Structure 1
Amino acid sequence: MFKKHVIYKQDKYNMLTVEEQGKTLVVRHISDQWGEEGFQFISRAELLHWADNFFRKEDFIGREDELEQIMSNLRSI
C-alpha cells in the first residue's frame, strides 16, 4: 500500500502530491498550464533539493506564507 500526501490542492487542475512507494518518493505536479508532470526521488533530501529549485522565492513575492506551507508539507514527509 502506498502512502499518498497532498502537498497542496487549489482545484482539480492545480495540485502537488507525493506518494511513498517503498523507498521511492513519486511527485505528481498537475497544473492547468503544463498538465501533469511526474518526478521520482530516492531520498527525502533529493526531494527537498528539487523543491528548493522548483518553488523559487521570486515566484512567491507577496505569498511567502503559501511557499512556507508547501515547504513545510514537503519536510513533514
Structure 2
Amino acid sequence: MFKKVQIYKTDKYNMLNVEVQGKTLIVREISDQWGEECHTFVSRQEMLHWAENRFRPEDFVGKEEERASIMAGFRAI
C-alpha cells in the first residue's frame, strides 16, 4: 500500500502527484504539453532538490504564491 499526495491539479490534464512507497518517492507529472513524466527518488532531499530546480522562482514572476504553494506541498511529504 502506498500514500498518494496531490501537489497541484489545475484540470484532468495538468497535475502533479507524489506516491510514497516506503522510502521511495515517485513524482508523476502530467501535462497537456508533455504527457506523463515519472521521476523516482530514494530520498526526500533528492526530491526537494529536483522540485527547487523544476519550479524555479524566475519561472513564477508574478505568481509567487503559486510556487510557494507547490513547494509547501513537497515539503509536507
TM-score normalised by the shorter chain: which range applies? over 0.9
Partner of 1:22: 22
Give the 3-state SS of the residue equivalent to 2:33 in structure 1. coil
Q: Which runs of 5+ in 1 are unaligned?
A: none
Matched, 1:61 2:23: no
Question: TM-score, structure 2 length as denominator?
Answer: 0.98
Provide Cα deviations, 1:33-72, integer angstroms capped at 9, x if missing partner.
1110000000000000000000111111100000000000
Tell me how far apart the structure 2 counterparts of residues 31 and 56 of structure 1 sit (CA, whole Å).
Answer: 17
Partner of 2:11: 11
Tell me how far apart the structure 1 counterparts of residues 68 and 8 of structure 2 sit (CA, whole Å).
Answer: 12
In percent, how many aligned pairs have the same letter?
A: 66
Q: Which runs of 5+ in 2 are unaligned?
A: none
How much is the aligned-residue C-alpha RMSD, in angstroms? 0.5
Return the offset for 1:13. 0.6
Tell me how far apart the structure 2 counterparts of residues 59 and 49 of structure 1 sit (CA, whole Å).
Answer: 16
- Equivalent pairs, count: 77
Give the 3-state SS of the residue equivalent to 1:33 in structure 2. coil
Question: TM-score, structure 1 length as denominator?
Answer: 0.98
Q: Match of 1:40, as an amino acid?
A: T
